[in-house]
Each structure stands twice: as structure tokens, then as C-alpha cells.
Amino acid sequence: MKNEGTTVVYTTHHLDEAEALCDRVAIIVDGAFVAVETPQSLAQAAAGPTQLIVPAGRMTLDQARAIPGVDHAERDGESIVLRTETAGQVLVAVDAIAGLQGVRTKTSTLEDIYLELTGSEQ
């Protein structure tokens, strides 16, 4: 239907589905639109720090904290979690220290953005 130019209105509380399926999303609070954008535009506008999750055996917490651009680093179970606003720069440094095998990144999801915009739980 989309390829034929038909607009489909899809309402859901399952924000992961909306993020995957929708070209544009509208977030409504108390009957008013607080955002109408593409999921990508919302993510860029709400860009908080990126989290880099490194297997703990690959680098020490002190090494992580010493990387330029790392705003915060902490151990979380079997991982070292680095928060940064400059993910590319920090990834290059992580690669030099520990390699990138097993390193994961986490950025804001539509659910994170919803909670930020509404200040509430779903």
C-alpha cells in the first residue's frame, strides 16, 4: 500500500515496532502533538550520549576513563560501559587498545525519546 502512495495510520504503544515500520511518528501528550518527525530525525534531535559496551576483559576501567572524549566509564557486570558524545573518536581509541571484537554501541531509541519528551512511563 505504501508503494502505491497510500498513507497508513498506525497507532501503537510498541515503540520498537513504530521505529521499525513508520516513516514518520507523532508523539501525543494530553491530546497535543509534542513531536511529528521521522524516527531518525527524532533520534538526532534527542541525541544523548552514545554508550560503547566493551567486554571487561579487553580493557581496564582506568584505560577507558583515560580515553579522550569519554565522559563517563563504569563497570556493569562483564562489561565496561563508556558514555561519549564523540563515538567515532572513542571507537578509534577503543580499537587501538582492545580491538572492536564484541564491542557494542547503544544510542537513543524511540522509547528513550518518548520518555524524554513526555517525562513519563509508557
The alpha-carbon radius of gyration of the chain (Å, integer) is 18
Mean pLDDT by 10 residues, the chain (122 residues): 82 84 87 87 76 94 96 95 93 95 87 78 50
Tell me, what's the pLDDT at 84?
93
Domain boundaries, given as residue ranges, for the chain: 2-45+109-118, 50-106
CA distance 108 to 30: 24
Tell me, what's the pLDDT at 68?
97
CA 27 to chain centre: 18
Compute φ and ψ for 85, nearest 5 degrees: -95, -10
Tell me, what's the pLDDT at 21?
86
Structurally, at CATH architecture level, domain 50-106 sits in 2-Layer Sandwich (3.30)
Tell me, what's the pLDDT at 6?
84
CA distance 98 to 63: 10
pTM, full prediction:
0.63
